[in-house]
Amino acid sequence: MHIAIIGNGISGTTAARFLRKYSHHRITMISAESEYFFARTGMMYAFMGHLRFSDLLPYENWFWKKNKIDLVFDHVTRIDVLEKRLYLKRSPEISYDKLIIATGSKVNMPDIPGTSLHGVTGFYHKGDLENITNLHRSISNAVIIGGGLIGIELAEMFHSKNIPVTMVVRDAGYWRNTLPYEESEMVGSLIKKQGIKLLLNTEVREIQGNAEGKVKSVVLTDDNVIECDFVGIATGVLPQISLLNDTGIATEKGILVDEYLQTNNPDIFAAGDCAQIRSPDSGRKSIEPVWYTGRIMGELVANNICRNPVKYKPGIWFNSAKFFGMEYQVYGFVPNKKSTEYDNVFWQHPDTQKSVRIMYEQSTEKVVGFGLMGIRYRHEVCEKWILEETQLSTVLADLSLANFDPEFFRQYEPLVLEQYFQQTGKKILPAKAKNLNAVIKFLKNVKR
């Protein structure tokens, strides 16, 4: 059997690796973005000089030939689902028995004049990194449209090169559609401390260019004009599915797949950012363009092609990021708005960028989520508490079990307990300090 994979990101690459682990089938992976798989999350560090681009390649170049995974560096122009053939821009056509589509995302360009000007780019693909690297020495002022994770990455990148940056965010705070108010304000304050301008409650109405077709300024919705020679687009991403036009493969925002990641064509699967789950699990979105879900999907689709069918179960939601060195983690359900059904214990350090938020169900006091800024908690511990619907009082008493900061870092769990006492009048005594062996023993009971 010949299995073709379109896309060599985390989903396509993971699928190829596990297809080889599970079978001796012929495997061909096709990509027009890069010859070899690279760690997309490290692109900003390559730009800043912390890493070389070659350092973003998790596998040596010989890995693919050794594992009999054929790589084709070319662009797929058409899928013929009846004849089971892929047509490419430069290479001969490729026939397949099973097809995995892992085409990832594309930048969600705003519908405003000027996005085609020289000096306007997103930051998702290898080409975007190359474009920004080539441009940055001639940039005197940069504007970033949008306030999500890509927006702050771009801001930090230019800040590292001493290029003035202005972030234009349409919401009342940074990443307000995801972060609760206090965390949003915390990150916004951190951005401003770097000397970066953060303009809130406004949008870019137009990007203006000069006679050479290069960016010269942006016009805001309040008619203010900002002179600049670079505009970074950070208004989110969309599934890359244009290749599927006229194929009969069902799509909405993404490629519609069932719980086995199978499309409406039994020989075609989709995985990663481009896949849209028809019936997602409770509390999960139908499209989740994050690294770890792409990895899970890649392994799952290989399993479903070569072994017994397994349903897609991504488990407890989690995500992590860094904002100018300040770590952010979220496990489970941590909404950005207050709810009558849920309450939380929230502690914030008065002087430094650190906070802990523990969400729980009001009626039962079962813990449902953790949000952390500047403090690291163990993923396995938080996941265990959520999965086992642990009572808030138990979590608070054992909170030190979760702390994953280095040994000589200050521990803030007693202050979280004090905050809970101030909020509720209920006193929780911490359990006796646990050593590493106790943590390991605790984790052995995690339900999976």
Note whether residue 161 is domain-resident. yes
Taking alpha carbons only, the member of 67, 98, 105 closest to residue 81 is 98
Do residues 99 and 129 both lie within one domain? no
Residue 393 lies in a domain: yes
Q: Quick one: 124 and 202 in the same domain?
A: yes
Is residue 98 located within the same domain as residue 133?
no
Q: List the single range of 222-236, 323-337, 417-431 with lowest mean pLDDT.
A: 417-431
Rounded Cα distance, 206 and 115, in Å: 9
Task: Map residue 297 onto helix, strand or coil.
Answer: helix
Instruction: Examine the fold and report which residue of 207, 235, 263 is the final residue of a domain before the chain moves on.
Output: 235
How many Å apart are CA 11 and CA 7, to the nearest integer?
Answer: 8
Same domain, 35 and 96: yes
Identify whether residues 272 and 331 lie together within a single domain: no
- pLDDT reading at 426 higher than 90: no
Q: For residue 420, what is the domain's CATH number?
A: 3.30.390.30
DSSP letter at 136 equals G
**Which three-class secondary structure string do you get for 246-289?**
CCCCCECCCEEECCCCECCCCCEEECHHHEEECCCCCCCCCCCC
Residues spanned by the domain of 80: 2-106+238-306
User: What is the four-CA torsion angle of 121, 155, 132, 295, rounded to 10 degrees?
Assistant: -80
Decide if 200 contacts 172 (C-beta within 8 A). Answer: yes
93 and 135 fall within a common domain: no
In a domain, 114, yes or no: no
Q: Tell me the pLDDT tens digit for each residue of 336-379.
A: 999 899 999 999 998 889 999 999 999 999 999 999 999 999 99
Instruction: Check pLDDT > 60 for residue 432.
Output: no
Q: Please give the Cα distance from 342 to 353 (Å, whole number).
A: 25
| 111 within a domain of the structure (yes/no) | no
Q: Given 274, 306, 338, which residue is the final one in a domain?
A: 306
Strand partners, 218: 207, 226
Residues 233, 218: Cα–Cα separation, whole Å? 12
> pLDDT category, 441, cuts 50, 70, 90?
low
Question: What mean pLDDT comes out for the span 225-246?
Answer: 96
Query: 196 in a domain, yes or no?
Result: yes
Q: Band of the pLDDT at 448, cuts 50, 70, 90?
A: very low
149 and 62 in a common domain: no
Same domain, 174 and 280: no
Q: Is residue 112, in this structure, part of any structural domain at all? A: no
- Take residue 225 and report the two structure tokens written for it: 């004009």
- The candidate with the shortest Cα–Cα distance to 163, out of 229, 89, 243, 220, is 229
Residue 292 and residue 355 share a domain: no
Task: Report how many domains make up the chain.
Answer: 3
146 CB-contact burial (10 Å; exposed 0-12 / middle 13-18 / buried 19+):
buried
208 & 244 share domain: no
Separation between Cα atoms, residue 363 and residue 357, nearest integer Å: 18
Which of the listed residues 196, 216, 235 is the one where a domain comes to its end? 235
Rounded to two decimals, the pTM is: 0.92
- Residue 363 is assigned to a structural domain of this protein: yes
Residues 62 and 94 both lie in one domain: yes
Tens-digit pLDDT profile for residues 256-280: 999 999 999 999 999 999 999 999 9
Length of the chain: 448
d(C-alpha 57, C-alpha 43), whole Å:
11
- Of the chain, the end-to-end C-alpha distance in Å amounts to 33
For residue range 51-89, list pLDDT tens digits in order: 999 999 999 999 999 999 999 999 999 999 999 999 999
The CATH number linked to 191 is 3.50.50.60
Nearest Cα to 372, choosing from 360, 349, 355?
355
Cα Rg for the chain, rounded, in angstroms? 24
**Residue 409 in domain:** yes
Residues 257 and 335 in one domain: no
